[in-house]
């Protein structure tokens, strides 16, 4: 039986648990999607790959909830946590990488509030699950909408996002305590302050042995 959904603040311990479980479930969904793809069940493979992408998208939302105090903003973030289109925005990441994206400025289109790519993926998920009817009384069925090429593209996004989710300890309880310490004071201020705070967070995490020093270098390069 489903209990009442939680909508209040999180501490580092509960946030870490939520992030780790989301990552674990994202990988599990991807494995199932891969099995379906290997057996030619492309439409169902896409469905589960999109669900995997959505689970991967929960981590960043949980980190935001962790440093949010304002009740209205907190309510909004919990809505995002449970809203499909807010969790699947990163599915265009492979396309951006192909076009040369290497740092945070190149990845801004992922978070463009005017973009409809989140809705596009959600529509694709619906088409891979259900029959429907469109203009001119044209009916659709998943097996006629989803082909191998589409499935390969969505699976690639899911693979990249699950790999990207291995954050090397920064999402541990101790890592998230540092996240609160460094990020919360500058949250929703200037981008330069945010970048500086993130680098500071990663440096201290490396000094404490929570993450590798290599991760500090990678994040510094990414934030340039």
Average pLDDT over all residues of the chain: 84
- Of 218, 216, 214, 178, nearest to 199 by C-alpha is 216
Least confident range of 98-102, 135-139, 147-151, 179-183: 98-102
Angle of helix 173-183 relative to helix 191-207, nearest 10 degrees? Answer: 140
Q: Is 223 exposed, middle or buried (0-12, 13-18, 19+ CB in 10 A)?
A: middle
How far apart are the C-alpha atoms of 116 and 133, rounded to whole Å? 22
Looking at residue 110, its pLDDT comes to: 45
Percent of the chain with pLDDT over 70: 81
**Considering the entire predicted model, what is its pTM?**
0.84
Structure tokens at 122: 């959600």
Looking at residue 199, its pLDDT comes to: 94
Percent of the chain with pLDDT over 90: 53
């Amino acid at each position: 039986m489903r209990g009442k959904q939680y909508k209040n603040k999180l501490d580092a311990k509960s946030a870490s648990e939520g992030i780790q479980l989301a990552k674990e479930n994202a990988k599990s969904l991807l494995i199932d999607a891969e099995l379906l793809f290997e057996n030619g069940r492309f439409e169902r493979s896409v469905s589960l790959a999109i669900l995997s992408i959505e689970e991967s998208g929960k981590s960043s939302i949980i980190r935001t909830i962790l440093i949010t105090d304002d009740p209205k903003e907190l309510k909004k973030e919990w809505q995002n946590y449970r809203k499909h289109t807010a969790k699947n925005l990163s599915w265009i990441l492979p396309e951006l990488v192909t076009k040369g994206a290497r740092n945070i400025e190149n990845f801004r289109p992922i978070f463009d509030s005017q973009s409809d790519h989140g809705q596009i993926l959600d529509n694709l998920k619906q088409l891979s699950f259900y029959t429907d009817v469109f203009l001119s009384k044209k009916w659709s069925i998943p097996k006629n909408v989803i082909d191998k090429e589409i499935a390969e593209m969505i699976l690639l996004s899911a693979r990249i996002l699950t790999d990207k989710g291995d954050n090397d300890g920064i999402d541990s309880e101790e890592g998230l305590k540092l996240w609160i310490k460094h990020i919360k004071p500058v949250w929703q201020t200037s981008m330069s302050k945010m970048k500086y705070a993130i680098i500071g967070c990663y440096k201290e995490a490396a000094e404490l042995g929570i993450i590798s020093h290599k991760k500090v270098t990678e994040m510094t390069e990414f934030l340039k």
